[in-house]
Chains A and B, each alone.
Chain A
């Protein structure tokens, strides 16, 4: 199951989202946006004041990342995912606006999963801590908003064959729950054999 890589071209339409299933290893190509805690807080505060998001949320994918600064001549520094759970407070609102793709690491709250089921969201996991490797798949990087937030500013990235795993799919299946249970079963069988 680990070697079957599927190429996925973004944006993430609801139809496309529904074809992605928990445990799928996929390679993403297309435009994604970076946002962490501070950017989410500002985006949602602005929305409440009637100020639109710095990017079109419809079918967008948000990457929870705060990269290291780019060295001269490089597109970006190391850029692995941050813990997604810290964004749970704002994620349902973003998903309801159409930003159905999320890339991060770690567990999500039921409120996020509910929104994903309702709006066909997908939560992708990128390997936490593999910032050097993941940066190689980021081909373009443009700062588009909140420059004052430093590593937390919003960047528009163009990624090519960016490796991710579907952790939670649009039906709410969760790899963190099933993956572990499946492994323990397999391990038990291996022990007996």
Chain B
């Protein structure tokens, strides 16, 4: 057993919320620059230059990359040997988000009630996902997620007969429908399999993976490459003004599923795809 005081979690999350919102991860920076190098649309080149200028400005001046500092999506991989002390884990996570969003001058974008609305004033509650894993460590990932892109995401319960083609068409259709709204160039997180709820989580987790990585299964790694190419043939381009760079990455995560189904979720993210990880 390893005792971890939850205040350690609070402190880490406070710091990570601020950093994730100010410094775009290296994989995204490199991915956008690589797309700029092979862009052939004139307006698209100008826009990509400004997008690069923007994340470099945020880096240098230590300010938020985007004004939508998102809902704080917090993923915890908790080793089963860990024993939390000093308070409730979820309270500690929310306290970290509260402090980070307040001290870091980040936007508070969370409404207390989905229909009756009303801003909670401190960006809590966080969207928390906990996985129990072997070991005595805690891996924390903070991924602030904006809603311009979240709103363009989609989930469909396919019959198995729809096959691979059905999945491919659905991914392209979702990106096409999203058009300029999710601030392209986008990152596309795809979940396939599982059931209704787990497939959505798989798509969200796909967005946590660096865009220069591949699914370990060569079949899905090839599908990631194929879909990225097909998406970039749509011509939507940066900001939807036309161009090659519609997406900078496609990540696919899969799960075993039921004999009667083939769920698929497409979680769209933007050129400000933020994630920061720390192991305690």
Contact = CB atoms under 8 A, between A and B. Distances in A.
Highest count of chain B CB atoms <10 Å: which of A3, A38, A85, A184 = A184
Nearest to B63: A132
A190 B39 CA distance: 12
Interface stretch (B47-55, B127-135, B204-212): B47-55
B31 interface: no
Contacts of B242: 179-184
A44 to B, nearest CB: 16
Interface string A132-176: 110110000000000001111000000000010100000000011
Highest count of chain A CB atoms <10 Å: which of B47, B68, B106, B148 = B68
Contacts of B46: 2-3, 25
A125 interface: yes
Interface in A1-45: 1-3, 23, 25, 38
16 contacts: A66-B109, A69-B107, A71-B63, A78-B65, A80-B68, A82-B148, A83-B148, A106-B179, A125-B239, A131-B64, A150-B121, A151-B108, A151-B119, A181-B235, A181-B242, A182-B242
**How big is the B interface, by class?**
35 or more
Contacts of B73: none
Interface in B36-58: 40-47, 50-51, 53-55, 57-58
Highest count of chain A CB atoms <10 Å: which of B43, B50, B241 = B241
Contact of B237 (A3, A77, A83, A183): A183
Given A68-B107, A176-B240, A105 B181 contact: yes
B236 interface: yes
Interface of B: 40-47, 50-51, 53-55, 57-58, 61, 63-69, 105-109, 117, 119, 121, 146, 148, 151, 179-181, 183, 235-237, 239-244, 270-272
Given A68-B69, A107-B181, A179-B241, A127 B40 contact: no
A180 B235 contact: yes
Contacts of B67: 65-68, 77-80, 82, 131, 151
A21 to B, nearest CB: 14
Contact of B50 (A135, A149, A163): A163
Contacts of B146: 129
A82 B148 CA distance: 7
Contacts of A82: 67-68, 148
A70 interface: yes
Contacts of B121: 150
Given A128-B270, A136-B57, A183-B243, A176 B50 contact: no
A47 interface: no
Interface of A: 1-3, 23, 25, 38, 65-71, 77-80, 82-83, 85, 105-107, 125, 127-133, 135-136, 149-152, 163, 165, 175-176, 179-184, 186-187, 190
Given A82-B148, A132-B61, A150-B108, A107 B179 contact: yes
Contacts of A130: 50-51, 53-54, 66
B51 A129 contact: yes
B237 A67 contact: no
Contact of B64 (A38, A68, A128, A179): A68
A133 B54 contact: yes
A133 B50 CA distance: 8
Contacts of A106: 148, 179-181, 240
Q: Sort A-B residue pairs by CB-CB distance and give the 9 closest, nearest first.
A: A183-B242, A128-B183, A179-B242, A106-B181, A131-B67, A130-B54, A2-B46, A132-B58, A133-B54
Contacts of B64: 68, 77-78, 131-132
A33 to B, nearest CB: 16
Given A107-B180, A128-B270, A130-B51, A187 B244 contact: yes
Contacts of A65: 67
A134 to B, nearest CB: 8
Nearest to B48: A127
Contacts of B63: 71, 77-78, 132, 135
A71 B181 contact: no
Contacts of A83: 148, 151, 181
A101 B82 CA distance: 57
B53 A133 contact: yes
Contacts of A23: 43
